[in-house]
Amino acid sequence: MTIVNEVARLETDDGIAVLILDHPPVNVLSKILREGIEAGLRRALSDDAVDAVVILCEGRTFISGADIREFGRPPEGPPLEALNALIEGAEKPVIAALHGTVLGGGFELALSAHARIAMPSTLLGLPEIRLGLVPGAGGTQRLPRLLGLSHALDMILSGEPMGAARAKALGAIDEIAHGALTPAAIAFARRFLEEGRPLRRIRDETEKLQAPGGNGAVFDAVKARHARILKGNDAARGAINAVYAATQMPFEEGLARERQIFGELLAGPQSKAQRYLFAATRAAAKLPGLPPGTRPRRIARIGVVGAGTMGGGLATAFLAAGLPVTLVETGREALDRGVSTLRAGLEASAAKGKLRPEEVGQRMARLTPSLALADLADCDLVIEAVFETMAVKREVFAKLDAIVRPDTILATNTSYLDVNQIAAASRLPERVVGLHFFTPVPVMKLVEVVSARTTAPDVLATAMALARTLGKVAVSVGASDGFVGNRMLRARRVEADRLILEGAMPWDVDRVFTGFGLPMGPFQIADLAGLDLGWSRETSKGRTLRARLCEVGRRGQKSKAGFYDYDDERRGRASPVVEELIAAMSEEAGLERRSITDREILERCLYPMINEGAKIIEERVASRASDIDVVWVNGYGWPPTMGGPMFWADAHGLRDILETLRRYEERLGEAFRPAPLLERLVEEEGSFTGLF
């Protein structure tokens, strides 16, 4: 064995050199690892006793990607492109032995090898688009040569990893290892030599760069498939351009074009926002102030109270994570309907190829429908998804208190009610926590994990861990009316409602927000969710436009009429009925309608949201400004390319926001009064994202 440096060593096995990399926790391509790779390769390739080289990693994964901390710094040590050229240009076979998550630069390095062998559980991908970047070390040039334009572009634009079986089918890897990776890789290298295989250098291959029927049709089809991400996304357009360069230029020129695009994106605002968001998401997983040694509890069985849309979605998500679920309803009809809807959802997923057919039965076998709360006695965590009123939720918790074990966690799925009051219904309030999921639960990534004043540290840690088990992005928030997301949303909704009484129309407001960069405006979102969500005919007094629309049967997209009129394809158009209702309400309020500029619409809807975010930070409802941004990107449709509302506010300029709020306060009153934190940050020339 030869020690190369602190993270690399060489071992030889009868002519096969094994370059072993060990840079915990995930073998990122930091300077020291790149130095170890270069030195180890040069030593092995210059050794006459070595016939082939295997590169593999110890720990839980092969090289997992670049060290994001080095982005934007002056380069030190050998660049990855030089390592790839060294590997690809070697006169001896270099085999990449893969396991774990082989992402970004790790996958690009593997693509420069002459062959690849991978464990069955290996995932391979190029997720740079999630950082607002394109692959920067040959990924946009080698992958199309290996997979063809369509598959390569799908992989780059989605950022999604590919499993080993599919990678083998497409030709991204040459063999799947069975048993231990090291002996399998050495045996593969020997066969490579014995069979006299030629050294495959992907850079020299061009056949798959020309698609049957012409490349234009391929690029058009890819753009249609990925239209959503291409809209306003600099990195997505950059990826298309880089892959196009692969079809038009020699390899080295294509590499230079890729690097140029990478550099432009790295310096641009969208990548800065997305790299900030990457760090923010990691930070959100950390719980400041948690006592040392706090560990999550083991959760082996889940109880769900309520089999409606939310309860069924929760059960579906827990079943997908492999957890047995007891689903309780008060009536047979509601229970049967909930179970039927759940099964139909699984069968639809199987029909689309998202589940294997046998998985439908396997998941349903983990579901226990019940009409009795007593059947929740053995659950480790019970979450309620009942009607959104305090009295109903407190009643459910009081009943559960008498049934479940003392160590069972009780979770409420409330979207805005006071978790402190709900916890007070339990004789053990320390076991109560909020888990605010978003609909549709299997799709939406965000979970606001809400701590009551009494929530035990290990209960909070368990709730966060459980959300991550479901593949969700969990953010710890404090008990407050609406928590983080809905509280800020309310500030926007109040102003949007005022604006349409003063002179704007719903489609004016929505157009401003989609022009700003959001996928939908507030009234489009309301129609999609359903205007009758939380509305009751018995208690409605028609004070708001939403209430009046519900009273006349305009409930949103589902009724083909809400703020908009809808056709059979759910395409919305301006509604004369809504225009008449708004005009009547303006007259009732004694308001003379006027022309309102797009700028005023944006300022009056967006700036109060940011101001509310400042109050949320002041009150410690959110631990960090970045937590607010994680909430908004993952739960409310804020584009990742814009970082989040607090990040956007910093970039836009807090002084302008403060001065604008003060002007509106003079004209419109207390709703625009600046938060003390905002005033302090402007005075100190600080920023929201620089607070913690």
CB 482 within 8 A of CB 416: yes
Using alpha carbons only, what angle is made at residue 434 by residues 621 and 558, rounded to the nearest 5 degrees?
A: 100
What is the domain extent for residue 207? 2-267
Domain boundary among 588, 617, 646: 588
CB 474 within 8 A of CB 449: yes
The verdict on 214 and 336 lying in the same domain is no
Within a domain: 645? yes
Read off the CATH number of the domain in which 66 is found: 3.90.226.10
Read off the CATH number of the domain in which 650 is found: 1.10.1040.10
Tokens for 151?
């598959």
pLDDT at 50: 95
The verdict on 519 and 386 lying in the same domain is no
The verdict on 81 and 205 lying in the same domain is yes
The verdict on 239 and 121 lying in the same domain is yes
Taking the C-alpha atoms of residue 449 and residue 403, their distance in angstroms, rounded to an integer, is 24
The verdict on 572 and 604 lying in the same domain is no
Based on the structure, what is the number of domains in the chain?
4
The verdict on 603 and 575 lying in the same domain is no
The verdict on 616 and 575 lying in the same domain is no
Within a domain: 356? yes
Domain boundary among 588, 620, 647: 588
Within a domain: 282? no
The verdict on 49 and 158 lying in the same domain is yes
pLDDT at 542: 66
Active site residues: 66, 105, 108, 128
pLDDT at 70: 76
Within a domain: 689? no
Low pLDDT (below 50) residues in the chain:
none
Within a domain: 421? yes
Q: What is the pTM of this model?
A: 0.91
Taking the C-alpha atoms of residue 658 and residue 668, their distance in angstroms, rounded to an integer, is 15
Domain boundary among 267, 288, 320: 267
The verdict on 115 and 240 lying in the same domain is yes
Within a domain: 286? no
Taking the C-alpha atoms of residue 40 and residue 2, their distance in angstroms, rounded to an integer, is 9
The verdict on 464 and 328 lying in the same domain is yes
The verdict on 172 and 249 lying in the same domain is yes
Structure confidence by residue, pLDDT tens digits, 668-683 = 999 999 999 999 999 9
Within a domain: 692? no
Within a domain: 293? no
Read off the CATH number of the domain in which 438 is found: 3.40.50.720
Determine if residue 14 is left, alpha or beta; phi over 0 gives left, psi from -120 to 50 gives alpha, anything else beta: left
Taking the C-alpha atoms of residue 624 and residue 619, their distance in angstroms, rounded to an integer, is 11
220 exposure class (CB count in 10 Å sphere: 0-12, 13-18, 19+): exposed
The verdict on 6 and 59 lying in the same domain is yes
